[in-house]
Amino acid sequence: MRILQCISDHGRSSRPRSTLLQQQMQVRRLPPAMANLVPADLLEREVEAVYRANCPKCNLPRPVDLHKFHEVLSFVVLTRWTTKQQLSCFSCARKRQVGAIALSLVAGWWGFPFGLILTPVQVTRNIIEMCSQRPTSQPSANLRRVIRVIQVNIGRRMSRNQQVRSVPPPSPV
């Protein structure tokens, strides 16, 4: 479940076990550079494995997907606003979005002029996300896209590793 870990670790560098993708590429003897040309059935199996895994936040057996939340923090002349994604079940995503609304309402107003402008924008965006999301029986297109990007990165990393291994050591003189 490397892909699940890559998504839920928010890009932290970790080196877990090989994935279904890597195993199948080796079995089919595909060059690692062809990771972006992986057959659709492998992509679908990887997406389903991530979608059907336990929620990384609550560890309950619920379907997981990528959910967006929007925050704004302000301190007099400094305002920071972000949009992040979280891999979680619908319930955990809803809690995170409510938390982002609360954080923005408490800490978003204190910057001039951007805090006053961006706080209602980010709160509204969270409310729209919450109203537009429904628990579904299918993984989202966004989850598929992220898994595809991770597959390409894994293929590139595998390709670099094979190139390094294929260079013969210098012969002693």
Strands 65-75 and 78-88, sheet pairing: antiparallel
Answer yes or no: are the C-beta atoms of 147 and 35 closer than 8 Å.
no
Does residue 36 contact residue 151 with C-beta atoms inside 8 Å? yes
SS3 label, residue 87:
strand
d(CA 66, CA 32): 27
User: H or E element: which one contains 85?
Assistant: strand 78-88
- The residues near 164 (Cβ < 8 Å, ≥ 6 apart) are none
pLDDT in tens, 68-105: 999 999 999 899 999 999 999 999 999 999 999 999 99
Q: What is the pLDDT of residues 25-34, one digit of tens each?
A: 666 666 655 5
Q: What is the pTM of this model?
A: 0.69
Where does the pLDDT of residue 115 fall: very low under 50, low under 70, confident under 90, or very high at 90 and above? Answer: very high
Cα separation, 144 vs 160, whole angstroms? 25
Domain residue spans in the chain? 2-10+17-59+138-155, 65-132
